[in-house]
Structure 1
Amino acid sequence: MKPDVPLVLQHSFGKLLLEVAPNLTAEYAVGNTSVIGLMMFMSAAEFERGAQLRAEENAEMRAIFEETGGLGLPGDLQKRFGAAAGAREASLLISDLDAENDRLKTLLIELQAALEELDSPPARKLGARIWGFLRQAADKRKLPYPSIG
């Protein structure tokens, strides 16, 4: 058997919300069951898109690091950006993708700080690209909310 995780979680969410919760008498239990169901619904969405989203974010941050050449950054920092730009995913496990995503975001913060010190047109342009990436990443990470009607 190969369970379809999003389907199982979404089906369980529906059962909890539409069949179990309405038959509970304690208000706390109804609320708790509804929240558990909602978490299952959101977990199904994250399971389906999680690896893709993280891999895309990591690739975009690496592309940003590729653009740092010629900005006049300190050599040690430039080497770290170059190494990050040339790296690839070691694994598609969510935990590994998250660890790499965290590492790249930490490096991205260092790049933002360095760009603020440079205050040149190319630095401002790359800084704007970083802010655009962060806005898009936040939008893509929004979790869906079920429409029940």
Structure 2
Amino acid sequence: MTPSLPDILVGNFLCVAEPPPPESAGEFMAGKVAVVALLSLLAAQEAERGPSARVWENATLRAVLLDAAPVYGEAFAEAAGAADGDFTLAALDRANATLRRALIALHEAVEAAGDTARDHAILRLYRDMAHARRLDMPPLPGR
């Protein structure tokens, strides 16, 4: 499971909203605060970069699917019609899931056909998609 940004923020809220029992003081509490702080930092990066990464990714996936449709079937053109909706993260992710499933099916067809050029283009796209969604780990204190 990949938690969504709202899931992470709600989890952080629940972690800090409830007073800890006395036995969780000390190192355990320090570790808990450090995890919440790290998740908050990563969530801030996702809030900043996430929507634009999804919009770019969805547009790029549509272009790849539409380009392949004449060769591999109109089903890929139909899949490219998945709309981004109201541009909330949830709506962008729903469209992205549809587009990614279609890309996976396309990639399977491309591999079966031995279409090396398109296969390499899809592999580069996977790399670029991962890069667009990267989150940077901060330097850890005391290291």
Shorter-chain TM-score: which interval?
Answer: 0.7 to 0.9
After the TM superposition, which residues 1-149 of structure 1 pair with which residues of structure 2 at under 5 Å, given as runs?
26-71=26-71, 73=72, 78-119=73-114, 123-147=115-139
**2 CA distance for matches of 1:34 and 1:97?**
30
TM value normalised by structure 2: 0.74
Taking structure 1 as the reference length, what is the TM-score of the superposition? Answer: 0.72
How many angstroms apart in 2 are the aligned matches of 1:110 and 1:142?
A: 24
Given that 2:83 and 2:95 are in contact with CA atoms closer than 8 Å, whether structure 1 keeps it comes out as: no
**C-alpha separation between the residues in 2 aligned to 1:106 and 1:35?**
33
Q: Percent identity?
A: 30
Cα distance in structure 1, aligned partners of 2:80 and 2:95: 12
Which amino acid is 2:121 matched to?
Answer: R
Which structure has the larger Rg?
1
SS of residue paired to 2:74: helix
Letter in 1 for 2:62: R
| CA-based RMSD | 2.2
Deviations 1:79-104 (A, max 9, x none): 22112335542220100111111111
- Counterpart amino acid of residue 37 in structure 1: A
Could you tell me which runs of 5 or more consecutive residues in structure 1 were left unpaired when the two chains were aligned. Answer: 1-8, 10-23
The CA deviation string for residues 61-95 of structure 1, in whole angstroms up to 9 with x for no partner, is 11111221442x3xxxx222112335542220100
In 2, the alpha carbon distance for the partners of 1:148 and 1:117 equals 46
Where structure 2 has 5 or more consecutive residues not aligned to the other structure, the ranges are: 1-8, 10-23
The answer as to whether partners of 1:64 and 1:126 remain within 8 angstroms in 2 is no
Structure 1 residue 25, shift from structure 2 partner:
5.7
